[in-house]
Structure 1
């Protein structure tokens, strides 16, 4: 380690003259070395970065490491404008990094979340020196997990992310006026600390008042509604054919972007590219073995990977194949490594989704049961009242919010005791039942207003009767005909779990999950101006003509 050389704040000039700065780590010796590059807006020396890319460990493995502050953040010049410049700045930075003293001309990129997306944007810009990318826990379509989900606003991430990005922006804005800076920072922190205590509930949700108060660039939902074409600046979906590179993608079953990770993988495979996929039981920021209320076993930890070794070493090995000097090591077509919850085992596959999965319907019944058999006669529809001012509270899931809201599988007792949550449960299973793949709910439902939301959640009920969430989803209905039943499909994304013999499968149906998703005020007014709510009367149908159900991808035993 004493031989590793570090240069701080090395300047790189972008095409418009803006200077971005990076820390550069060089191994012992004279090189040349392949370059591992990451570009992030959170500070290039942030403590959590080591869990994604430990630059010293990478340098010991023979990589030159370049960690750059994105435009308008920390040591880099320019205006902070989320997403807008990442494609062009990514191109310019890759070319600059490949030409650094000691570099061998080949660049790979690595990083998570925002700096998973900066890799995709750089790859789409096609710098010739970029040879491979390894995006972790990042999206494909920003309107499927980043900005919205099923048409509802991802308020849970949008509000804290925007406010947490504020201190650096305010210090740049008021750096010459300490008094103003101090007051603005105090006000910002108060809003951030107050989100869980009521701040999330400010209206209108589509033009969030806290962002207006502090004049901050928000995550992108609001701008993308005003400027639809601008959304392309962080959209990967539909553009995978433009990326002719091998990819190593990492996700977690309780990560807010898990479906985006899976979609990126499948799209790259369809495009004929080498693609590797690893999905653990993890959340967005936790790759250890205890997620939510569940201990998945030490083998689930990314430091062990079921005794395969560290995930970071797997990534380094892969980069040695793709950007290293050994031309004899050609990347293969990629691998798939999935963690199957319930039995808590890693399993190697060759594909995603699994072609051997068989879709099975489990029907919601009037007596609260969940059965493979559909209703043979008309059953009375279920009713509940949805009050946006008393929404169902977010309790676990694939989320990224303030620390008051834990991700992962959590006890659902308090949720399921509410009168505005319908619960449907199977009999105890007589044998293990594996569900691996994409889950959806088909609801025949009616509301008495012009707009509402439908939320469905899949749960595992253990032998002691404790119900824990597995996966969920939402769909926003913007043009309902009051009182008229209609079919609504709720995408619950994907999972891999074995429901053990003696356990029961449960489905919750309701109309809110707040503040993860913004509340539908049931009026049909646009989210950027709606401030008045009405109570909605909801009906779920289950009869031969309207068989509400959940569709599970079951792996034959």
Structure 2
């Protein structure tokens, strides 16, 4: 062996021994890392898929005109002979049925629907025609077939055709269908009651859009809810699958709305004039034939009562506080056996009956989970009785009513009842009481309403995140404003319990030729409140609303107001069920703007406020009267116990 070859061999052996020595000092995990020759990330990872506890089907259901509607069916596994709940929505059926991507059906949906899925129901969600996955054309709150709709199809026919298909094509079902939904979805529930399909056995309209002019989404007694209407029209009609979000130009909506001026100009700034419904709103500022023909309560009043219906009303519903009660009252005379037309009124914001526990709104506590109570003890028994093959009769009252203040449920035969009212009078010196005021040298209180500085409806900055709970927000920021007049009682020595719609009889004068009037009925908590110290002095609005003065004589034929003359303005505040407890005080606030929730009244009569010009907006001197024949008062509907009531 040559010396050179031996050197090579010895060098190789030395390297080998050295490598072995190093290897002995490297932990096994590091050895793997050092010797790995490729990425540890798989080229195509295949995750394990846990088993769902439900079956999901997506189908396109044909309507009578050939249009097909996208429908999602959620069926808990193992169900047979099961009833179906149908929710027809413009808000995306996929979104309604795919909340968390969970393997459990009840986790996909809002809480109330989860309760039904857990109790043997099939859930069906459908995009209304023209929205998301459905074919056809979208029309906001599509009118029923008739003078305003010559197409031959509407939400009533679409509900009928859908129910017909479901009753024949879902083998896990018993063929019985109930309709249920909140807001616009509640509106589609009301439409299913028009010439209903025989398989429709129950309906639950929750906080439904019923009359957009009288007191639901678009107007309240003629005052235009412009900011919400603009954003909603953009979201609904800006695109088939949800409209564009308008870029925020101001942190405070109050600032942007004030700078825009009229509703028409703000609409142009946001581009919403490109949508059809917004232009309808601009064309119909009064309660004309167009609005009256679409009022659902009037339509249902002309229909026979064929389907057991559970109306669900929110006493602090910030969007549709008018319609549910109006529709319930319209149908109630047809319920001769008091076993078809049911009402639940709870302490809820919009959708609060099935979205959360219902134990509070903002800072206001209700001592119990009111939404859970509704779902388990009223909704489920009602649906079981009418939809399940062998459902037991529902042991529920015709009316189930939550009374805030005392925070108790009451079970009644009807509501509101014909009971004596009690006049609550404004008094000189900013007082408030049940005795008619004596003649006084101070016959009125006066303030300046300036459209350049309108009263905000919530504290500034006005942001959308306060919207859901705003009706229950503290009213103290407004009670000391110079453009708000406030009247307050002495501390109560006994409870004052109201149940129904307070009726405003406001005697007022304006130096202008048009004016808005806002009246708030408020529960003032004691300065120190031992049950919840942070609520000391809180001013809780129990019922409040606005009235546009030009409609004092006629809702459909606006007229200029005679300036500087005391005139009576009469309207109903939203329904209330509340006890003002001893130690609390009752307050009334009166003002002439509520911005930017409602558009500003220019306080100069113009044919259409939607198109008011900058020079039309003028300051006005407002007078609120409280003496003699011009004594302002609120008729309070006093509650009385009914036979058989349970507490």
Same fold (TM over 0.5): yes
Give the whole-Å Cα distance in 2 for the aligned partners of 1:218 and 1:363: 42
Shift of 1:455: 0.9
Equivalent positions of 1:191-340 (< 5 A) are 195-199=253-257, 202-205=260-263, 208-210=267-269, 212-213=271-272, 215-218=274-277, 221-222=281-282, 224=284, 228-229=289-290, 232-233=293-294, 235-242=296-303, 243-255=305-317, 256-272=319-335, 274-287=340-353, 288-297=358-367, 299-303=368-372, 305=373, 311=375, 314-326=378-390, 329=392, 334-340=397-403
Q: CA 1:384/1:112 → structure 2, altered by over 3 Å: closer, same or farther?
A: same
Give the whole-Å Cα distance in 1 for the aligned partners of 2:405 and 2:636: 16
Gaps of 5+ in 1: 173-184
Which of 446, 452, 469 is 2:541 aligned to? 469
Give the whole-Å Cα distance in 1 for the aligned partners of 2:446 and 2:182: 42
Give the whole-Å Cα distance in 2 for the aligned partners of 1:213 and 1:92: 33
TM-score normalised by length of structure 1: 0.87
Give the whole-Å Cα distance in 2 for the aligned partners of 1:286 and 1:30: 29
The answer to whether the Cα contact below 8 Å between 2:603 and 2:619 also exists between their aligned partners in 1 is yes
Which of 544, 548, 555 is 2:632 aligned to? 548
Partner in structure 1 of residue 126 of structure 2: 68
Which of 337, 359, 380 is 2:421 aligned to? 359
Q: CA 1:471/1:171 → structure 2, altered by over 3 Å: closer, same or farther?
A: closer
Which of 31, 56, 63 is 1:14 aligned to? 63
Give the whole-Å Cα distance in 2 for the aligned partners of 1:437 and 1:30: 43
SS in 2 for 1:391: coil
Query: Deviations for 1:108-162, whole angstroms, at most 9, x for unmatched residues?
Result: 1011000001011121142232221101111432222222111111224312322
Which of 193, 196, 199 is 1:129 aligned to? 199
Shift of 1:202: 3.0
The answer to whether the Cα contact below 8 Å between 1:473 and 1:493 also exists between their aligned partners in 2 is yes
The answer to whether the Cα contact below 8 Å between 1:6 and 1:24 also exists between their aligned partners in 2 is yes
Partner in structure 1 of residue 55 of structure 2: 5
Which of 67, 83, 86 is 1:34 aligned to? 83
Q: Does 1:495 align with 2:580?
A: no
Q: Which has the higher helix share?
A: 2
TM-score normalised by length of structure 2: 0.76
Give the stretch that moved more between structures: 532-541 or 217-226: 217-226
Equivalent positions of 1:315-464 (< 5 A) are 315-326=379-390, 329=392, 334-355=397-418, 357-378=419-440, 379-395=442-458, 402-405=464-467, 406-464=469-527
Give the whole-Å Cα distance in 1 for the aligned partners of 2:409 and 2:349: 16
Give the stretch that moved more between structures: 208-217 or 151-160: 208-217
Give the whole-Å Cα distance in 1 for the aligned partners of 2:207 and 2:414: 19
Query: Deviations for 1:184-209, whole angstroms, at most 9, x for unmatched residues?
Result: x47x2437987454247634325732
Which of 520, 524, 530 is 2:612 aligned to? 530
Give the stretch that moved more between structures: 333-342 or 126-135: 333-342
Give the whole-Å Cα distance in 2 for the aligned partners of 1:262 and 1:52: 24
Q: CA 1:252/1:192 → structure 2, altered by over 3 Å: closer, same or farther?
A: farther
Query: Deviations for 1:284-328, whole angstroms, at most 9, x for unmatched residues?
Result: 14342221321222x14312x2xxxx615632321121122127x
Equivalent positions of 1:119-198 (< 5 A) are 119-144=189-214, 145-165=216-236, 168-169=239-240, 185=244, 188-190=246-248, 195-198=253-256
Q: CA 1:312/1:146 → structure 2, altered by over 3 Å: closer, same or farther?
A: farther
Gaps of 5+ in 2: 1-50, 100-107, 143-153, 528-536, 551-559, 642-647
Partner in structure 2 of residue 93 of structure 1: 162
Partner in structure 1 of residue 93 of structure 2: 44
Larger Rg: 2
Partner in structure 1 of residue 623 of structure 2: 539
The answer to whether the Cα contact below 8 Å between 1:150 and 1:491 also exists between their aligned partners in 2 is no
Partner in structure 2 of residue 178 of structure 1: none
Give the whole-Å Cα distance in 2 for the aligned partners of 1:424 and 1:343: 24
SS in 1 for 2:331: helix
